[in-house]
Each structure stands twice: as C-alpha cells, then as structure tokens.
C-alpha cells in the first residue's frame, strides 16, 4: 500500500485520533483504542518515532476548533512534528474544504507529511491516491 519510508528517523510523528458521538454509532471499529492500536502498529512496522498522540474524544469533525488538534498544530508550528498519521481522512476532519486546506496547503507549507492509513493517502509520495476528490463525493452523499 505504501512505499517504504526512507529515513524514518527524520520524522517526528503526531498520531491524531478523533471520535465524535456520531462516530460511536458506527461501532467499535472507530473507538479511540482501536484507532490508536492501528496507528501504533503502523509506526512500529516503519520504525517511526512518535512525538505525541493527540486525542479529541467526543468532538465533531465538522469543526477544527478541537483542543488536541490545536495542540498538534502548535507543535507543528514549533517544528516538533513533521508527520501526521490518522486512521482515515474523516478522523482529520469532516469539513472537506478545511480538510483539503490542511492536507493540500497547511501541511506542505510546514513541511509535514500526512498519511491516512485506510485511504492510502501519503503526501510523501506522488500518487493519485492523494487526490481527495472521492472524499468530497462521499461527504456530499452522506450530508456532511
């Protein structure tokens, strides 16, 4: 699914986890613990160093005014973090315009590599999987 991550020691990883009340209806696969296990397994396989884990539990993805998301952004701006990993793109956010802003503008401007595990998105490689157009269609069809 991913190219090998060359120079894993060059990365200081933020694991970002979000769960809203609405997500709980989707079942246990969305739980904070399950997301964390998936992310930790990935970083172990790729020998990455986790700077911190950021968890917004019970916060909607339609806003980016989330305590741990804001803390992660502060760490990015302080150059403590240069890679962000989420379970899927919807964990980053459900507002596709702002999600696109972070993925396509903010992260590149701050030299942050973004990986969404289940969506196959890795901004560190040139791939059509990094196009979030399908995400926009999904969000439109689900009413988000």
Entry pTM: 0.84
| Residue 31, SS3 per DSSP | coil
Q: How many helices (H) and strands (E) does the chain have?
A: 7, 5
pLDDT per position as a tens digit, 69-89: 999 999 999 999 999 999 999
pLDDT per position as a tens digit, 22-44: 766 665 557 899 999 999 999 99
Neighbour-count burial of 71, counting CB atoms closer than 10 A to its CB (0-12 exposed, 13-18 middle, 19+ buried): middle
* Residues 98, 102: Cα–Cα separation, whole Å: 6
What pLDDT does residue 47 have? 95
């Amino acid at each position: 699914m991913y190219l090998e991550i060359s120079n894993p020691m060059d990365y200081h990883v933020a694991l970002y986890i979000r769960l809203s009340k609405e997500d709980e209806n989707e079942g246990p696969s969305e739980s904070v613990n399950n997301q964390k296990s998936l992310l930790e397994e990935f970083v172990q396989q790729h020998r990455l160093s986790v700077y911190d884990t950021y968890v917004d539990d019970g916060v909607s993805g339609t806003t980016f005014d989330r305590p741990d998301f804001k803390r992660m952004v502060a760490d990015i701006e302080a150059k403590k973090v240069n890679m962000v990993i989420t379970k899927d793109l919807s964990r980053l956010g459900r507002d596709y315009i702002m999600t696109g802003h972070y993925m396509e503008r903010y992260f590149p401007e701050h030299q942050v590599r973004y990986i969404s595990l289940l969506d196959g998105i890795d901004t560190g490689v040139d791939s059509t999987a990094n196009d979030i157009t399908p995400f926009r269609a999904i969000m439109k069809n689900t009413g988000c």
